Amino acid sequence: MEIASFDREQALRIQSFHLLPGKGARRIWAATVSPGYDDTRLDDGRAVRVTPREQGAYYDAQWQAAFASGADWVLVTSWNEWWENSQIEPSALYGDFYVGRTRAWADAFRARPQPSMPTP
């Protein structure tokens, strides 16, 4: 499933859960983003999984999907996972590109209008 469709579906489920009888207050929708993934260096017997970074386009698409879904929070799920190539901290290969992209997206996220959270 495409990330934008997945985020929309999950957001709808989470943000409307409180409308069901007896379910309480609105829940927080936390979308997740990652710059990519490559566990070909792991030798633990699992099936190899690779999600190319696409020079930052994959990371940007995930942030865009999080925005479009009305996420209350955005979680960077792989901060410095070097063995699976999902790190965003400065490196010889990527420099500080992903630190800068994270800063730009986080600034944009903080600047957007905040959704209202109904009180229980």
Domain ranges of the chain: 30-111
- 37: β partners: 51
Buried b (16+ CB within 10 A) or exposed e, 63-99: bebbbebebbebebebeeeeebbbbbeeeeebeebbe
The per-residue pLDDT for range 4-49, each reduced to its tens digit, is: 676 656 655 555 555 556 666 667 778 889 999 888 888 777 788 8
Q: What is the pTM of this model?
A: 0.74
The per-residue pLDDT for range 40-93, each reduced to its tens digit, is: 888 777 788 889 999 999 999 999 998 888 888 899 987 667 888 889 999 999
Could you tell me which of 105, 31, 103 has the C-alpha nearest to residue 71? 31
- Residue 50 has φ and ψ, to the nearest 5°, of -135, 130
